[in-house]
Amino acid sequence: MEGYAYAKKRFSPGLGASLEERILMKMQKPMIMDHPLIQHKISLLRDKNTGSKEFRELISEIAMLMCYEATRDLPLKEVEIETPVAMAKTNVISGRKMAFVPILRAGLGMVEGMLALVPAAKVGHIGLYRDPDTFEPHEYYCKLPVDITSREVYVLDPMLATGGSAVDAIQMLKDKGVKHIKFLCVIAAPEGLNALTEAHPDVQVYCANLDEKLNEHKYIVPGLGDAGDRIFGTK
């Protein structure tokens, strides 16, 4: 997309860059995932004939595949365990615990897939609705784990259209002291992705597919319709 830089695969800064530069360079470039399984499932999501049951399953499966990539940089520590054969040195996850925070209501569809890989993660909820006239987001609910500031937080929303809800949700988390945030979406419009990365350049964004544009009603084109309605069968 013109005027917008993104990485389809894991970003690799120059070998001479410092650790801080490497982290910042990576975080400023959203990851657009091009895995064949994800792309295949997105095609099924887009089909207007896909029913709510299958739609929910597909959203969950895509979220699980995205979780695999988004957690690739989790720190490890070496431990010693005893197998049935011998003692072995092996790695386990160390460092901060995780929390998944879906933006209601469509973000709920991604939680099950994320928890399938990280069942020990805690789950918070942020409720935002979009004004039908101004398209601006408004908060109506926020419930987070009490230790949210000590966790690495993954904000979930299938659709990144204008970016308003994602920007506000992440700002809410920052205002509460959260320092480590990632954002995961299935479909994004360039307008929303630009808005999010400009407002929060320190937040790593993972997106399964970058679509063409927003229409006059602020829906993503070609998109997949209203994700919340299709997940819950309310339309």
CA–CA gap between residue 11 and residue 61 (Å, rounded): 24
Q: Residue 12: what pLDDT?
A: 41
Name residues of the chain where pLDDT drops below 50. Answer: 1-15, 19-20, 23-24, 26
Residue 5 CA, distance from chain mean position:
18
Q: Which residue has the tokens 């970003």?
A: 11
Q: Residue 144: what pLDDT?
A: 95
Q: What is the largest CA-CA distance in the chain?
A: 66
Q: Residue 28: what pLDDT?
A: 56
CA–CA gap between residue 83 and residue 124 (Å, rounded): 37
Q: CB-hemisphere CA count at 13 Å for 178? A: 29
- Cβ distance 35 to 210 under 8 Å? no
Q: Residue 41: what pLDDT?
A: 96
Q: Residue 29: what pLDDT?
A: 81
Q: Which of 87, 71, 70, 74 is nearest to 208 (CA)?
A: 70
**Three-class secondary structure of residue 104 per DSSP:** strand
Q: Residue 175: what pLDDT?
A: 93
Q: Residue 20: what pLDDT?
A: 47
Residue environment code for 170-191, b if the CB has 16+ CB neighbours within 10 A, otherwise e: bebbeeeebebbbbbbbbbbbb
Tokens read off for 166: 């994602």
Q: Residue 137: what pLDDT?
A: 74
Q: Residue 49: what pLDDT?
A: 94
Annotated catalytic residues are 130, 134, 226, 229
Residue 75 vs residues 14, 36, 51, 91, 105: alpha-carbon distances, Å:
22, 27, 39, 10, 31
Tokens read off for 158: 């299938």
Q: Residue 18: what pLDDT?
A: 52
Residue 127 CA, distance from chain mean position:
16
**Three-class secondary structure of residue 233 per DSSP:** coil
Write out pLDDT tens, residues 15-50: 455 544 554 454 558 899 989 999 999 999 999 999
Q: Residue 16: what pLDDT?
A: 54
CATH numbers and ranges of domains, the chain: 19-232 (3.40.50.2020)
